[in-house]
Amino acid sequence: EPSGRAGLETIIIGSLHPEYPMSLRTVEQSVPKLHRDQVPDVLNKLVEDRIVLVDGTGKYLLNPVGKDIAA
């Protein structure tokens, strides 16, 4: 069970890959059902922080340099 937003961010970042884009629905499946409604907001924040990228089809990718930016 994730503890708050940071826990959800950790789960979401862990589910994403830099080369294989994932749809919002797929990302939501990696999060406990109770917290799935929070996934869009958390993803938007991660995109703002440049930890996650959105490709031309609206799918999500881990930014390969995002961890360096966030550090």
pLDDT per position as a tens digit, 5-55: 889 999 999 999 999 999 999 999 999 999 999 999 999 999 999 999 999
Give the domains, in start order, of the chain with CATH numbers.
4-66 (1.10.10.10)
pLDDT tens-digit series, residues 22-31: 999 999 999 9
pTM (2 d.p.): 0.84
HSE-CB at 35 with a 13 A cutoff on CA atoms is 20
Per-residue pLDDT at 48: 96
Cβ-Cβ contacts under 8 Å for 46 (sequence gap 6 or more): 9, 12, 13, 52
